């Protein structure tokens, strides 16, 4: 029996139309047995993610303000009314309202809980609460052995199931969430626990490009990438997967396929332990700060200190990480960009530039990366 664990992100379940689309995708392949869902995300750029609304509703509860909860109810009600009219959404919200003062983790987790429960009602698939499957130890780390046992015992006999992402429970039964975007981790943990053949991660992009398509016109697609390079790409700032998502898959030989819910026929990108070599790509991160002293000293090529938090007297910088550059290309980058600092890492270079130069630097490095011709991934 082949098992594919499919995780769908927030934009894939943002409204009733997307629920229909996801159902079509999972029905089109009988191996797609275990479905992990995020909470509904934005329907358009100006919209709110349900998780953000829940976090605000938790804070607003202290002031007795239930208007945000009413907005959240409306989002789910529009899906319920269209697809699962018998689902007791009023009962679920009465419970949520009564528990809004409970821990932030509990309240934030309700986005995934309600989404998965509603999707299960619509598709007539079994719903299994993540609090029965994913367990955290006393240090806040996943208890892998207990999780694997629970997942196998509870999910395998069902053959198929829908599971909320993003949270699990502590040994004493309290709900605990991962950091934001953590449904990716839930999906990978379940894929590893169930000995899945494949972990599909469905979002709203076609896979790993040579650069963010929002910044660079016509980037090329990478069809395969090694698991360890993908981890470094995500740690370097690419927001394709949660940075911890792939760690449960080390040593399992389970491939991860990045797929687009809006273009299910596109091949996607396969992240595999069997893949060798470095694929070409540029990614990065803004909103970093370099200590004033280090900025002044950077002419002397001293090590720079980067912080993710604002510091007094600090300089706002960005990092651009380029993988797969050849030595002549690296020299060309040095001659073209004049970065504040450039660090040579094992398989990529990290270029530190003033934040205002981030986008231009990404485009310039990407141009150099692709101009070399067609060698590389
Ligand atoms: N809904 C959560 C978030 O917005 C978790 C997830 O989507 O994976 O971060």
**Which band of pLDDT confidence, cut at 50, 70 and 90, is reported for residue 314?**
confident
pTM, two decimal places:
0.91
Q: What is the DSSP string of 85-105?
A: TTS-HHHHHHHHHHTTTS-HH
The answer to whether the CB of 289 falls within 8 A of the CB of 311 is yes
109 lines ligand 1 (CB under 6 A): no
In testing the pocket of ligand 1, which one of 42, 105, 111 has its CB within 8 Å of the most ligand atoms? 111
Q: C-alpha distances in angstroms, 349 versus 134, 162, 290?
A: 37, 41, 18
243 lines ligand 1 (CB under 6 A): no
Mean per-residue pLDDT over the chain, rounded:
91
Q: Distance, CA 318 to ligand 1 centroid (Å)?
A: 25
How far is CA 328 from its chain centroid? Answer: 34
40 lines ligand 1 (CB under 6 A): no
Q: C-alpha distances in angstroms, 344 versus 227, 311, 323?
A: 21, 26, 11
187 lines ligand 1 (CB under 6 A): no
End-to-end CA distance of the chain: 33
Which pair of tokens denotes residue 190? 């379940």
Q: What was the pLDDT predicted at 87?
A: 98
What are 102-124's pLDDT values in tens digits? 899 999 999 999 999 999 999 99
Q: How far apart are CA 151 and CA 149, in angstroms?
A: 6
**Which band of pLDDT confidence, cut at 50, 70 and 90, is reported for residue 66?**
confident
In testing the pocket of ligand 1, which one of 166, 176, 190 has its CB within 8 Å of the most ligand atoms? 166
Mean pLDDT across 89-111: 94
Q: How far apart are CA 24 and CA 239, in angstroms?
A: 26
Q: Where are the alpha helices (DSSP H) in 194-290?
A: 227-235
Q: Distance, CA 206 to ligand 1 centroid (Å)?
A: 19
Q: What was the pLDDT predicted at 49?
A: 98
250 lines ligand 1 (CB under 6 A): no
Return the sign of the alpha-carbon dihedral for residues 105, 110, 115, 120: positive
Residue 262, H or E segment: none
Residue 272, H or E segment: strand 269-272
Contacts of 185 (CB under 8 A, 6+ apart): 178, 242, 244, 245, 248
Is the model more confident about 28 or about 308? 28
């Amino acid at each position: 029996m082949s098992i594919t664990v499919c995780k769908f992100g927030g934009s894939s379940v943002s409204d009733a139309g997307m629920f229909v689309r996801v159902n079509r995708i999972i029905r089109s392949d009988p191996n797609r047995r275990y479905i992990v869902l995020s909470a509904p995300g934005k329907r358009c750029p100006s919209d709110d993610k349900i998780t953000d609304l829940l976090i605000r509703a938790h804070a607003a509860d202290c002031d007795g303000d239930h208007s945000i909860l009413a907005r959240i109810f409306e989002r789910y009600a529009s899906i319920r009314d269209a697809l699962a009219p018998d689902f007791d959404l009023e009962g679920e919200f009465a419970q949520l309202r009564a528990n809004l003062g409970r821990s932030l983790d509990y309240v934030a987790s309700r986005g995934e809980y309600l989404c998965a429960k509603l999707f299960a009602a619509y598709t007539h698939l079994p719903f299994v609460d993540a609090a029965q499957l994913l367990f955290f130890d006393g240090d806040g780390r996943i208890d892998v052995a207990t999780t694997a046992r629970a997942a196998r015992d509870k999910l395998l006999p069902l053959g198929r199931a829908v599971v909320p992402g993003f949270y699990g429970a502590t040994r004493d039964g309290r709900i605990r969430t991962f950091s934001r975007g953590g449904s990716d981790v839930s999906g990978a943990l379940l894929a590893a626990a169930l000995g899945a053949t494949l972990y599909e991660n469905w979002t709203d992009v076609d896979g790993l490009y040579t650069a963010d398509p929002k910044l660079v016109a016509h980037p090329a697609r990478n069809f395969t990438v090694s698991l360890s390079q993908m981890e470094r790409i995500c740690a370097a700032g690419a927001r394709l997967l949660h940075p911890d998502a792939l760690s449960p898959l080390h040593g399992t030989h389970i491939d991860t396929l990045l797929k687009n819910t809006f273009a299910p026929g596109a091949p996607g990108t396969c992240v595999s332990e069997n893949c060798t070599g470095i694929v070409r790509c540029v990614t990065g991160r803004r909103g970093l700060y370099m200590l004033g002293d280090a900025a002044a000293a950077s002419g002397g090529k001293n090590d720079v200190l980067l912080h993710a938090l604002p510091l007094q007297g600090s300089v706002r910088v960005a990092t651009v990480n380029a993988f797969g550059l050849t030595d002549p290309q690296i020299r060309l980058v040095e001659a073209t960009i004049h970065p504040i600092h450039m660090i040579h890492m094992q398989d990529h270079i990290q270029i530190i530039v003033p934040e205002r130069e981030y986008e231009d630097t990404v485009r310039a490095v990407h141009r150099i990366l692709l101009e070399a011709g067609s060698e590389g991934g």
